[in-house]
Structure 1
Amino acid sequence: MKDKRNQITRRKFIELGAVGVAGLALGTGLPGCAKPSHPKVNLIPLSERPIVDPSKKPNIIFLLSDQHRPDAMRCNGNPVIQTPNLDRMAAGGVNFTNSYCASPICQPSRASILTGLYPHQTGITDNNQKDFDPQWETMPRNLQRAGYKTAIIGKTHFFSLNAKAFSFLIMDWGIDTREKDEFIQSFGYDDVIEEFDQYLHAYDRFGINIYSPYTDYLREKGNFDKYQKQIKSVWRYTPTHWDGQTSVLSQEEDETSFITRQATNWLKQQDKNRPFFLNVGYVAPHSPYISDPIWADFYKDAEIPHGPQTPPEKVNELWGRYLDTRFKKSNSYRLTADYIRNSARQYYGQVSLIDQGIGDIVRTLEEQGLADNTWIIYSADHGEMMGDYKLMEKQVFYKQSVRVPTIIRPPKAVSPKTVDDMVEGIDLPATILDIAGAEPLPKSSGQSLVPILNGAGSKKEFAFSELGQRVADKDGVRDKEKRWNFVSAANQRYRLTYETTTKTACEFFDLQEDPDELTNRINDPAVKKLCNDMINDLILPHMNA
């Protein structure tokens, strides 16, 4: 088979070793500085002109991060975190504060964003069940049909990550993620630069090494070995998994900076006479919580706000067994206030570097004369618990895990607004296709958010989120064949979680009386009828759709 380890040097839109993020942004910080400064980004001034210029198809940039909780942004009320470019996006567009992911775990949520379908419709309800289906109708494929040049740079997670899935990729020298490029292209992307998280990069079992554009870059810089050593020190679900650390790499060498650099290089190559859709998939701020030295120094003494520390109640046997798996993986016994604060500081650093990269992308648009015809959308696949309720990461339905940031900034703007209407992950592809004037996805129930930008209200009363997890016995051992299938329905007043296989109701919260979701009332006789009505009138029809 053709050796693709050096293929990256032959792709004209990748320039390894080019000017780093710090070189593109004005004053991103020098070693020893107490506080990084931020690039000044001149957003398009507000006007009363129509949002979409009908005479010219707009460009669209879709920025999707991994595991970003919505309160980790200054524009959402966080007094500590530095996110000036996301804040400017919100000030020149619409900030949706009740945006729910289709699933609080990576792969199902991404499948829903790609197709506009819920997890029970795609069949992807958990990570690493199977690869995505190339026969799906997808948002980027419809964009191609509408004349768009399409690209995805960064994390895709379109394929499962297990030994069986990778078996056909193993060469005598290791595994190359670029062997999946043609598979990813089949979903509607002309250009692909696939990257994944640090755990995959550091994988070396049985003498098998991982190769990707980013690991090639680090090897060329002579820094891969120390990077791999650091990632192994915080390996998944070990006692040190959630430790916050400062990266052994420079800010320029960070994976977020690398992805930003590839995105700006791609933008510089585009034909101004052809509309483009660029999907930038940031791997951060997913664990491990390792931030670059500049941002780590900035947040080293920061007082990080945190949420409730009371563990969830085991209201019935099934929910108790599931929570035990989450407590075990979260290493809950280690989650002291100081420990969480240290990890959160590094998490904030990861978010701020993404924000810095967004500033670089906007600046590149301006330098290339593309800003006045480019929409920018920012969101995430799911949130992050970060120690709240003694839980880490995601895979629960608390707002920290299931809500995501969603900001839409049109090129010619609407009056800035914050919208608390219910929004779902499946609405993002509908919105992007609407902006492009492309055909909607025929089987999707997602709704375009463009009318809301024009002043209309949302027609959506509830948002749904789903999660499939392997059944655990009383000792927490999980069955590889059997799965629980959870679905949660939420509006601005109530949230209910139901397991469809055993027909077990697991959670009910009155968000008006209990906004922090501290009292699970699923066994309260006073709300039994309401719970049954929500199950019969909302959840069961939803799952049968």
Structure 2
Amino acid sequence: MNRPNIVVVLSDEHTGTAAGWAGHPGVRTPNLDRLAAQSLSFDRAYTNSPMCVPSRLSLMAGQYVHQIGAWDNGVIPGPEFRSWGHHLTDYQTVIAGRTHFNGPDRLLGFDRRLTDDLDFWLDHSGRPPRRTPDWQRPTNSHVTEHGAGDHVHTQHDVDATDAALDFLRDPGPEPYLLYVGYMHPHFPLVAPPEFRALYDPAEVELPPSWDESVSSQHPVISLLRHGFRNDEPITEEQVREATVCYWALISHLDHQIGRLLAAIPDDTVVIYTSDHGEMAGHHAIWQKQCFYEPAVRVPLLLRHPSLAPARITSHVSLIDVLPTLREIAGLPPDPALPGHSLLDPVDRPVLSEYHAQGMPDAGYMLKSGPWKYCYYGPAQPPQLFNTEADPHELQDQSTKNTQTAKLDAQLRTILNPDQTNQTAKSHQASRARHP
């Protein structure tokens, strides 16, 4: 059978609304906009965990975080882990750039790697995070370290593009799955000067909750802000500059993707997405680690030569990527995978979960229709938002709406949240004893 070549591009921390095709009035993404015009564009795509390693391992395995024990950023996948490379055995499977695979196995089922992660991002010890209420990140540099300048992340992304282009010039006769992983727009918010110059901080429209007080917030969110030092005061000037630097990193990412797209034949399948979003000052939070829309909603584009471009409003998530790759490769559906092919999207509730620092107990999100339900265990109140009527998620309706009980019951058809919380803690405690 004729198996099309596939290129998957994964960025880091690109929230789903920060792009021209997504309707953002400021961010410049001309290359991704052109790709979107040729693609299925998924307007309600979500990460299955607002944390790098859990999200990426879930994406690669096509399974939920709790199914594969990908609890936190220190997890080292074991020999039982099955990635895209284990599934698409009729393809040559090639990696360029960032995967955030911890441990000595740099392939995890792929055939070869052209360039690797930056080593200082990798955890080779398997140590778990400290999940006590007094934990704090050393600094709030994820927002205060910003401006125009050179950074190793930028060079990493250029090198990944260069390596991918070298491969594309002579890929050989076998069909290929080429994965290209970028660091941008992950913090630190140090942007190449020519891209920083595209933006004026004075033109930034600040989110309505950019200076939201810790005391007014849900107790879990307040503790999370404390842990990541998002409770430390920053000025409006700093917020504006950090915002345009984030946009500038997205524009640099777009430039690298444009270089790739220029070398990819029209009959090649192209998928673009990100591991999770970036709060970028919404609710006075920077980074992710929570379930507000900027943290969990991701861009997702799928260009397929036999599919007409369309905007898709069905709820989908990153676990749907592997079933899609299998279908493109001519493989039958795998009943062990909970996702569904994006070639025939089905609107279903989306699960996201978090089991790491800043939350002593697990957090879970179930998104269904306009409703988002967040569960934080029996000792903490939940949250419920109508994201269509209240897009900034300012009005918690958990005590006022029957959707709370309905979505809680739906959540429990997927997992037992309290039991899963204990399982995660047990696994993390075991790793602490036996790194």
Fold shared by both chains (TM-score > 0.5):
yes
| 8 Å Cα contact 1:59-1:374 kept in structure 2 | yes
Residues 328 and 190 of structure 1, relative CA distance in 2, 3 Å threshold: closer
Q: Distance in 1 between matches of 2:259 and 2:194?
A: 17
Shift of 1:420: 1.3
Residues 195 and 250 of structure 1, relative CA distance in 2, 3 Å threshold: closer
**One-letter amino acid of the structure 2 residue matched with residue 106 of structure 1:** C
Shift of 1:512: 3.4
| Greater alpha carbon shift after TM alignment, 107-116 vs 505-514 | 505-514
Partner of 2:132: none
| 8 Å Cα contact 1:61-1:377 kept in structure 2 | yes
Q: Distance in 2 between matches of 1:386 and 1:135?
A: 36
Is residue 321 of structure 2 the alignment partner of residue 444 of structure 1? no
| 8 Å Cα contact 1:99-1:405 kept in structure 2 | yes
Partner of 2:110: 188
Q: 2:100 aligns with which of 140, 151, 157?
A: 157
Partner of 1:461: 348
Shift of 1:399: 0.4
Residues 471 and 406 of structure 1, relative CA distance in 2, 3 Å threshold: closer
Overall identity of the aligned pairs, in %: 28
Q: What do the CA deviations read for 1:253-281 (whole angstroms, capped 9, x no partner)?
A: 6322122111111222311x210001111
Q: 2:365 aligns with which of 488, 496, 502?
A: 488
- The secondary structure found in structure 2 opposite 1:308 is coil
Partner of 1:407: 301
Is residue 18 of structure 2 the alignment partner of residue 72 of structure 1? yes
Q: Distance in 2 between matches of 1:434 and 1:356?
A: 30
| 8 Å Cα contact 1:141-1:189 kept in structure 2 | no
Shift of 1:80: 1.6
Partner of 1:5: none
Is residue 213 of structure 2 the alignment partner of residue 267 of structure 1? no
Is residue 268 of structure 2 the alignment partner of residue 392 of structure 1? no
| Greater alpha carbon shift after TM alignment, 109-118 vs 130-139 | 130-139
Q: Distance in 1 between matches of 2:233 and 2:71?
A: 29
| 8 Å Cα contact 2:91-2:174 kept in structure 1 | yes
**One-letter amino acid of the structure 2 residue matched with residue 514 of structure 1:** D
Q: Distance in 1 between matches of 2:357 and 2:201?
A: 40
User: What is the root-mean-square deviation in Å for CA atoms of aligned residues?
Assistant: 2.6
- The secondary structure found in structure 1 opposite 2:414 is helix
Partner of 2:433: none
- The secondary structure found in structure 1 opposite 2:41 is strand
- The secondary structure found in structure 2 opposite 1:185 is coil
- The secondary structure found in structure 2 opposite 1:426 is helix
**One-letter amino acid of the structure 1 residue matched with residue 387 of structure 2:** L
Q: Distance in 1 between matches of 2:302 and 2:94?
A: 19
Q: Distance in 2 between matches of 1:512 and 1:449?
A: 23
Partner of 2:87: 142
Residues 492 and 306 of structure 1, relative CA distance in 2, 3 Å threshold: farther
Q: 1:114 aligns with which of 39, 60, 77?
A: 60
Q: 1:248 aligns with which of 124, 133, 150?
A: 150
| 8 Å Cα contact 1:302-1:345 kept in structure 2 | no
**One-letter amino acid of the structure 2 residue matched with residue 274 of structure 1:** E
| Unaligned runs of at least 5 residues, structure 2 | 124-136, 421-435
Q: How does 1:251-330 map to 2 (within 5 A)?
A: 254-271=155-172, 273-301=173-201, 303-309=203-209, 311=212, 320-330=219-229
Partner of 1:423: 316
| 8 Å Cα contact 1:470-1:484 kept in structure 2 | no
| Greater alpha carbon shift after TM alignment, 149-158 vs 401-410 | 149-158
Q: Distance in 2 between matches of 1:471 and 1:414?
A: 42
Is residue 375 of structure 2 the alignment partner of residue 498 of structure 1? yes
Shift of 1:441: 4.1
Is residue 403 of structure 2 the alignment partner of residue 534 of structure 1? no
| 8 Å Cα contact 1:315-1:506 kept in structure 2 | no
Shift of 1:322: 4.9
Residues 131 and 418 of structure 1, relative CA distance in 2, 3 Å threshold: same
| 8 Å Cα contact 1:327-1:390 kept in structure 2 | no
Residues 90 and 340 of structure 1, relative CA distance in 2, 3 Å threshold: same
Partner of 2:427: none
- The secondary structure found in structure 1 opposite 2:166 is helix
Is residue 26 of structure 2 the alignment partner of residue 83 of structure 1? no
Q: How does 1:356-375 map to 2 (within 5 A)?
A: 356-365=255-264, 371-375=265-269
| Greater alpha carbon shift after TM alignment, 336-345 vs 242-251 | 242-251
Q: Distance in 2 between matches of 1:254 and 1:543?
A: 41
| 8 Å Cα contact 1:396-1:402 kept in structure 2 | yes
Q: What do the CA deviations read for 1:322-379 (whole angstroms, capped 9, x no partner)?
A: 52232452433333332111011111111111111111112122xxxxx133111000
Q: 1:521 aligns with which of 394, 397, 404?
A: 397
Q: Distance in 2 between matches of 1:323 and 1:394?
A: 14
Partner of 2:72: 126
| 8 Å Cα contact 2:48-2:55 kept in structure 1 | yes
Q: Distance in 2 between matches of 1:248 and 1:158?
A: 25
Q: What do the CA deviations read for 1:508-528 (whole angstroms, capped 9, x no partner)?
A: 112233222101122x2x32x
| 8 Å Cα contact 1:140-1:189 kept in structure 2 | yes
Q: Distance in 2 between matches of 1:312 and 1:436?
A: 50
Residues 71 and 312 of structure 1, relative CA distance in 2, 3 Å threshold: farther
| Unaligned runs of at least 5 residues, structure 1 | 1-54, 161-179, 204-235, 366-370, 453-457, 473-482
User: Given the two structures, how large is their TM-score scaled by the length of structure 2?
Assistant: 0.85
**One-letter amino acid of the structure 2 residue matched with residue 390 of structure 1:** A
Shift of 1:88: 0.7
Q: Distance in 1 between matches of 2:15 and 2:237?
A: 20
Q: Distance in 1 between matches of 2:147 and 2:254?
A: 20
Is residue 352 of structure 2 the alignment partner of residue 510 of structure 1? no
Q: Distance in 2 between matches of 1:64 and 1:103?
A: 15
Shift of 1:486: 1.2
- The secondary structure found in structure 2 opposite 1:151 is strand
- The secondary structure found in structure 2 opposite 1:514 is coil
Shift of 1:140: 1.9
| 8 Å Cα contact 2:81-2:108 kept in structure 1 | no
Shift of 1:124: 1.1
| 8 Å Cα contact 1:250-1:293 kept in structure 2 | no
| 8 Å Cα contact 2:201-2:240 kept in structure 1 | no
Q: Distance in 1 between matches of 2:227 and 2:358?
A: 15
- The secondary structure found in structure 2 opposite 1:90 is helix
**One-letter amino acid of the structure 2 residue matched with residue 511 of structure 1:** T
